[in-house]
Amino acid sequence: MTASSTPVPRTLYIHDDLSDDLAALGSDSRARRIGQSLFTLRRRDSPRIVILTLAEQIDGLVARGAHAPFARAIGIGRAGVRVAEAVHARTGWFPSIDRVDLWREEDAAGDYVLSGPRPLDAQLVTLTGAESIAVVDDTIFSGLTMRTVLSALPPARRVHAFCLRAVADSLSAVAALAPVSAGFAASGRILDDVSFINASGLVRRGAIRRTGRPSLAFHERPEWMEAWFPGDHEEITRLCRELAAELEG
């Protein structure tokens, strides 16, 4: 995919999962100073770029309505478990949280496939007999991962999907499988109108998983950076590269 064929989204939503980590390094940290410069640049393109915080997304999710505690909750990956833990601390909905690992990765042809360390059915077998199951992820973008997990669940009397943020159009396909609640939902076409990224993915490898090849950070995909930050992509990429080196060091 070339830069010219990568859509420039009308609105880019950035989940800030980086500021707290940088603040913990201390006020004299060079990494923190670079991070502050990076966020200042990203906010320059307002209102096209919207920064989302964990607190406001959890507030939105809780406001969607109360739930009785679920017998079992499944977090999709480390991010899903963290969301489940944060929501449970506020609500008490998820007293028993397990993790299922399933992720999207690029194959050699540049297409996306779902992968994981073990077959999905084997990861979900411990849920057999649970009367109620919650499935929790951080983002529903295309909805492929969430739909795949919901489709593989053993029968349960009550199933509900939760996420912090979502593309509104993708929620309808998920809702065909189970009720779904999102802390924030953005309207518009995927990629053309709306995109979601994590701030940490700009600097930490693992944001882009590749079959049989090393993972990448977003800043290592120049065509994506140019589409997301058309006016400042070179400077933002430089800051991401410097911050990545500081964090790796």
For the chain, percent of residues with pLDDT exceeding 90: 91
Helices 54-63 and 77-91: angle between axes, nearest 10 degrees = 60
CATH classification for the domain delimited by 55-178, as one of 3.40.718.10, 3.40.630.40, 3.30.1330.10, 3.40.50.2020: 3.40.50.2020
Residues in a beta bridge with 134: 73, 160
SS3 185: strand
SS3 198: strand
pTM for the full model? 0.94
Q: Which residues neighbour 18 within 8 Å (Cβ) at sequence distance 6 or greater?
A: 35, 198, 199, 200, 202, 203
Q: Where are the domains of the chain?
A: 3-53+189-248, 55-178
Q: What is the pLDDT of residues 17-34, one digit of tens each?
A: 999 999 999 989 999 999
Residue 31's identity, in one-letter code, is: A
Q: What is the pLDDT of residues 204-214, one digit of tens each?
A: 999 999 999 99
